Amino acid sequence: MDGDRASVLGSRVLRMEDHRLLTAGGTYVADLRVPELAGAAQVTFVRSPIAHALITGIDASVALGEPGVVAVLTGRDLGDLNGQAGQPMPEPLLATGRVRFVGEPVAMVITDGRYQGEDAAELVSVDYEPLAAVVGFGAALADETLLFPDTGSNVVATGGDEQGAGDAMFDGCDVVLGATFPNQRVAPVPLEVRGAAAAWADGRLTVWASTQNAQIARATISGRLAMDQAAVRVITPDVGGGFGAKIGTDRDAIAVAWAATRVGRPVCWSETRGENLVAMTHGRSQRQTVRIGGTRDGRILAYRLDFVQDLGAYPRGAYLASLTRLMTSGAYEIPRVRCGYQVVVTNTTPVDAYRGAGRPEATAAIERAVDMFAAEIGMDPAEVRRLNVVPPGSFPYTSPTGAVYDTGDYAAALDKVLAAAGYRDLRAEQARRRERGDTMQLGIGLSVYVEVTAGDHASGETGKVEVHEDGTVTVSTGSSPHGQGHATSWAMLVQEELGIPMADVTVVHGDTDVIPRGTGTYGSRSLQLGGAAVQKAAAAVREQARGLAAELAGATEAEMELDPRLGIWRVRGESGTELEWGKVAGQAGIEGLVADVLFVAKSPTFPFGAHVAVVEVDTETGKASLVRHVTVDDAGTLLNPLLAEGQRHGGIAQGAAQALVEEVLYDPDGNPLTATLADYATITATELPSFELVASQTPTAVNPLGAKGIGEAGTIGSTPAVQSAVIDAVAHLGVRHIDMPTTPQRVWAAISAAAISAARGGQ
């Protein structure tokens, strides 16, 4: 850009989105009062109450006689559209023949009113012939009961290194340790549940969906309903959180869209939280076996991870295992690394992306293994990490599983976080409490992590910038905000490039008629791809404008300059030649002053960081309280630190939640035990401290902004640090491991077991 001025980039700019959200509230799917949805009927799903059963009959006759009932639709009504013909494990829109998890949609009741729908859905009589349920890793692998008998196995896929392969990899290690533990199933719990609305008119289907990507949703809906993409318009209103679980669109929303084509009026659907907790996808759900070996002086020589990924009833998230494998060795340079996995189906809610999607699992596994190794050789876990992290001079670093870490300084991140936490003082305080035998013991947990963002960099992202004749700007983005603050960030980029104030920049997204090409928001991709596209489009607009301004001024392009503070063009050094943006835009005529860019990055980026968690554990009750959480989360160059910190805060909380309290549970018959927010322990304000964030910016060269993703890093770093802190608090009592979540019961049981073991050992 011409001239000097204070850059807005890197500033703590308040959000442009907030005034509306704070005074009128957002417009989420359930809030839509648009004319196209006038007189819309309500959709209520009839869902399976049994984990595994044959459907032997559906009788809707009683329900159809109830007040306000418009229709009851089943898989039979969908005909050929229902199935996924040719797929080995097809997932129908509405279950026919067999149900595979509690919550699976079986029928749709369409009513005038919401309450009528709940009444009538209870009167749809479905006959089930129960089958044995496959619940848990062991039952899945045993293959005694099959979810899809034609396939011959519950194993969807295997990958990586075979079991037993490379046993010699631990030769030469002074110490070899192993353990098996779960990375438990958790629920995403966006505060807005799933919802969709649809209208069918003149051969076109318009779908309003709570999704992270309108364009992907359109492809899925048109594909499943055998329609031309051009016949489907998807609109994304405000979205109340996604966390990966609203990528694309679920079968429920596709069925709702289809219903609009059947009942002669628009339809609306908002699920209940009870439905959300059993029918929105869950996250994590791995059983991990780690083996780690090294020298007594702290060098890790070999690490192996074998895991089973439970995908629930349908293999939507089959890619998750490969992401875990990719990040096997984490932030460490380990000479010999192997990873193998099996992916299975079970009679539980399907598992798919949830904040981190495969990377938190990998990080939790290796961080736990490193802590076990440190404990075994009697070395401080910080020192073991410092000895083994990838050294700063090694970037780009190709990991044994083929990930190419772009930039980083992991030892520096560790040193910064240790200094900020006052690590030495914390250890001294811990020693005092141990010596005194305090009831309230202190635990300190560490993690050093690296993760991958914009893994699908090749899909890129679109950004279109148009300057209007009144001097205002419209940015159309293929990215899809649901809390991240794109309207603010993209306006900052435009102000930077064009000198047009943020207040004059409107950002639009999530309408496939307006923005036909786009990929959306997931995998911490938005700024580095979508933001880069906006920046490039704005720069292209500036260069177009230079030519137009030159025409207007009767000068050459080289003579034109843009005053970035005033947003005004002029001939360099000649006063009285000032041209406002609106005038320049007018010169563009019918073609407009506009640039539409698809930005594709050449590779993913690898954010990294280090966390210190401090917990207090009441050794009499087992209750663990997180009292401090200090982090370095380096995501390259920051556009708006205020927003980046917000992403870190939310991420840390969700990661800590997995370590401390959250877990989706089933009984042996596949009945969900955590199907309400009264049962699922969603983390609250009382269970968290304020977080202590340490700044660190190591740019990447992968995109022009120097930015990496920040949406998931907090989650990836915090889970292992918090779990480790809880274990550390009671390590002196003989405890070496506690599964997540580290509930009071688990902690208390671990202390008791260690005491019994010590007593026996002493006899």
Contacts of other proteins in 131-160 (CB under 8 A): none
Stretch that binds other proteins, among 323-331, 571-579, 590-598, 673-681 (CB under 8 A): 673-681
Which residue, 395, 375, 393, is CA-closest to 384? Answer: 375
Residue 243 or 522: which CB sits closer to other proteins? 243
Stretch that binds other proteins, among 146-154, 389-397, 684-692, 741-749 (CB under 8 A): 684-692
**How far, in Å, CA of 511 to CA of 521, rounded?**
14
**How far, in Å, CA of 581 to CA of 21, rounded?**
30
Residue 759 binding other proteins, by CB under 8 A? no
Residue 239 or 345: which CB sits closer to other proteins? 239
- Reading the block at residue 89, the tokens are 């494990």
Residue 35 binding other proteins, by CB under 8 A? no
Residue 458 binding other proteins, by CB under 8 A? no
**How far, in Å, CA of 452 to CA of 653, rounded?**
20
**How far, in Å, CA of 143 to CA of 672, rounded?**
22
- Cα distance from N-terminal residue to C-terminal residue, the chain: 78
Answer yes or no: are the C-beta atoms of 45 and 105 closer than 8 Å: yes
Residue 208 or 691: which CB sits closer to other proteins? 691
**How far, in Å, CA of 742 to CA of 727, rounded?**
9
**How far, in Å, CA of 607 to CA of 405, rounded?**
9
Which residue, 755, 730, 729, 726, is CA-closest to 739? Answer: 726
- Reading the block at residue 524, the tokens are 């911490």
Which residue, 14, 328, 299, 343, is CA-closest to 154? Answer: 343
**How far, in Å, CA of 601 to CA of 613, rounded?**
35
User: Going residue by residue from 401 to 440, which x/- string records binding to other proteins, judged by CB under 8 A?
Assistant: -------------------x--------------------
Residue 651 binding other proteins, by CB under 8 A? yes
Residue from the set 47, 464, 482, 611 that interacts with other proteins by CB under 8 A: 482
Residue 274 binding other proteins, by CB under 8 A? yes
Residue 684 binding other proteins, by CB under 8 A? yes
Stretch that binds other proteins, among 49-57, 393-401, 642-650, 754-762 (CB under 8 A): 642-650
CB 753, min distance to other proteins, A: 32
Q: What is the DSSP letter of 524?
A: T
**How far, in Å, CA of 129 to CA of 419, rounded?**
62
User: Going residue by residue from 182 to 211, which x/- string records binding to other proteins, judged by CB under 8 A?
Assistant: ------xxxxxx------------------
CB 315, min distance to other proteins, A: 26
> Cα dihedral sign for 44, 49, 53, 56?
negative
Residue 298 or 471: which CB sits closer to other proteins? 471
Residue 8 or 598: which CB sits closer to other proteins? 8
User: Going residue by residue from 367 to 386, which x/- string records binding to other proteins, judged by CB under 8 A?
Assistant: --------------------
CB 67, min distance to other proteins, A: 12
Residue 502 binding other proteins, by CB under 8 A? yes
**How far, in Å, CA of 292 to CA of 179, rounded?**
9
In which residue are the tokens 């907790």 written? Answer: 277
Answer yes or no: are the C-beta atoms of 473 and 463 closer than 8 Å: no
Residues between 739 and 758 that touch other proteins (CB under 8 A)? none
CB 761, min distance to other proteins, A: 41
**How far, in Å, CA of 468 to CA of 583, rounded?**
9
Determine the size of the site formed for other proteins (CB under 8 A).
74
CB 651, min distance to other proteins, A: 7
Residue from the set 654, 658, 703, 742 that interacts with other proteins by CB under 8 A: 654
Strands 505-509 and 473-477: parallel
Residue 14 binding other proteins, by CB under 8 A? yes
Residue 27 or 295: which CB sits closer to other proteins? 27
Residue from the set 6, 24, 226, 558 that interacts with other proteins by CB under 8 A: 24
Residues between 516 and 555 that touch other proteins (CB under 8 A)? none
CB 13, min distance to other proteins, A: 5
CB 745, min distance to other proteins, A: 21
Q: Between helices 713-729 and 641-660, what is the axis angle to 10°?
A: 40
Which residue, 588, 543, 586, is CA-closest to 561? Answer: 543
Residue 6 binding other proteins, by CB under 8 A? no
- Burial letters 547-559, b for 16+ CB under 10 A, else e: ebbbebbebeeeb
Which residue, 668, 672, 669, is CA-closest to 53? Answer: 669
Residue from the set 483, 520, 604, 672 that interacts with other proteins by CB under 8 A: 483
**How far, in Å, CA of 598 to CA of 389, rounded?**
36
User: Going residue by residue from 93 to 132, which x/- string records binding to other proteins, judged by CB under 8 A?
Assistant: ---------------------xx-----------------
Residue from the set 484, 526, 528, 577 that interacts with other proteins by CB under 8 A: 484
Residue 13 binding other proteins, by CB under 8 A? yes
